[in-house]
A and B are shown apart, each in its own frame.
Chain A
């Protein structure tokens, strides 16, 4: 067992365990903290696949910005375990069935695909390095990139407009 495999198993177990805690935790603050741990372990997986830029951006954007926003909202609204609304039994049942269906579809899709029998390639490939990523974005995918930038800009302007309205 090389150090890569040890890290892989460690990160996998960590990601799955913390993801389960996200769903089962009573207090929303603990859920958010567990979600941050999940993001970190997924970033670890990205690093194992040599996609360092993706890993660090995942941490900056999701763990560093979006989760802080979540934490802000939860803390300001003071969503404690006591004030959590009790969920409907039927609603829980429906959720269980639809979640199971989604899981089945994903599983079936992966079983049929070419990737079914191949392992993840570790420490290989340099598509995730920032130089190659930048070249690909600005040469081959300029138009989608610019369109998504315009989308972000419009979302930002929309957020400012909503914030200005008293």
Chain B
């Protein structure tokens, strides 16, 4: 045989990739609908209610509208880079989903199928690498627009993402000290057997949450698209579905960071803390499905938090944003890391100095 490849394995992974990407897109699509409904509830309005029952077809209508809008590419810009920008934003948003353990293994057609596309042993570092790639979509797009206001918006967004990445990285280090593994799957298994990581790292979770808000460019950190001071941020020159990609990648980022937060701090597909689920006597497949449902419930709670904050808290000024990132979050993350290290070392030494 010329090419020795396990075809069945590739097929399974391919199906899994397609399902995960489609599900991410679908959930992000309905996150836009949920955002408008939540905003409407908080502002005492009705929200979208014309397309379909309860306005349920509103995201489809929005998508069709974006597709049919005129596509404008600035004359003096590099066309290739102009298209590459939103594509990169979308790609980096979706790529993180590859290492998320969506559930336990299920048994289908005589095969054990793990509900995780790839269990790489550098798991969380992969997430970090992809997050740091996210800057390129914004920077390339803003530069290729050949517009000073776009460039300024892009630089703002990029420096914000880079600043908050640091605090996020230090927070992850203190989490890694507790778990002792980089693999997300192993972290979930540890949390199934012991307590959820949020009980060990409450400050770490809070810092991670704030950084996740900043990384997703959500209010109160949505400086890059502050409508009243900038023209429109880095996507000023974009129209049609390319603008749609930029806006949509924000919702995918929100979904994925909710999943990552649930996995790192809230037990992933673990159903209840301090409860041994294997004592329920359910079959393997049912447990996997219940685990997936539990993960999704946690994710929906996080998504609601994202929206709740957006429609409650006004945005920061730019210097306040930088002060918060560099003068408060990073020292707090460092303190958290030092205390965690001390406690872990003491525990390894059986609480003797």
Contact = CB atoms under 8 A, between A and B. Distances in A.
Interface of A: 1-3, 6, 27, 29, 33, 36, 52-53, 55-57, 59-60, 63-65, 68, 71-72, 75-76, 129-130
B139 A3 contact: no
A60 B151 CA distance: 24
Chain B contact surface mostly: helix
17 contacts: A1-B2, A27-B78, A29-B140, A29-B143, A33-B140, A52-B121, A53-B125, A59-B129, A64-B129, A65-B132, A68-B132, A71-B136, A71-B143, A72-B158, A75-B139, A75-B155, A130-B122
Contacts of B133: 59, 63-64
B18 interface: no
Given A52-B121, A59-B129, A130-B121, A68 B2 contact: no
Contacts of B126: 56
A42 to B, nearest CB: 14
A42 B158 CA distance: 25
Interface in B133-172: 133, 135-136, 139-140, 143, 151, 155, 158, 162
A56 B3 contact: no
B120 interface: yes
Contact of B139 (A1, A56, A68): A68
A33 B87 CA distance: 14
A57 B122 CA distance: 10
Given A1-B3, A60-B125, 9 more contacts: A1-B4, A52-B120, A52-B121, A57-B125, A60-B132, A63-B132, A65-B162, A71-B136, A75-B151
Interface of B: 2-5, 78, 81, 120-122, 125-126, 128-129, 132-133, 135-136, 139-140, 143, 151, 155, 158, 162, 182
A35 B255 CA distance: 31
Contacts of B128: 60
B81 A56 contact: no
A50 to B, nearest CB: 10
A1 B120 CA distance: 24
Contacts of A65: 132, 162
Contact of A6 (B3, B129, B162): B3
Contacts of B155: 72, 75-76
A56 B132 CA distance: 11
A53 B139 contact: no
Contacts, number: 65
A74 B205 CA distance: 36
A72 to B, nearest CB: 7
B92 to A, nearest CB: 11
Contacts of A56: 122, 125-126, 129
Nearest to A74: B143
Nearest to B2: A1
List of 5 A-B pairs having minimum Cβ-Cβ separation, nearest first: A64-B132, A59-B129, A56-B125, A56-B122, A60-B129
Nearest to B151: A75
Contacts of A64: 129, 132-133, 135
Nearest to B10: A3
A52 B121 CA distance: 8
Contacts of B136: 36, 68, 71
Contacts of A63: 129, 132-133
Contacts of B81: 29
A129 B181 CA distance: 12
Nearest to A54: B122
A71 B182 CA distance: 30
Residue with the greatest number of chain B CB neighbours at <10 A, chosen from A55, A68, A72: A68
B3 A68 contact: no
Given A71-B139, A75-B151, A3 B132 contact: no
A59 B128 CA distance: 10
A55 to B, nearest CB: 8
A47 B139 CA distance: 28
A9 to B, nearest CB: 13
Residue with the greatest number of chain A CB neighbours at <10 A, chosen from B136, B143, B162: B136
A76 B139 CA distance: 11
B244 to A, nearest CB: 24
A15 B14 CA distance: 26
B249 to A, nearest CB: 17
Contacts of B143: 29, 71, 75
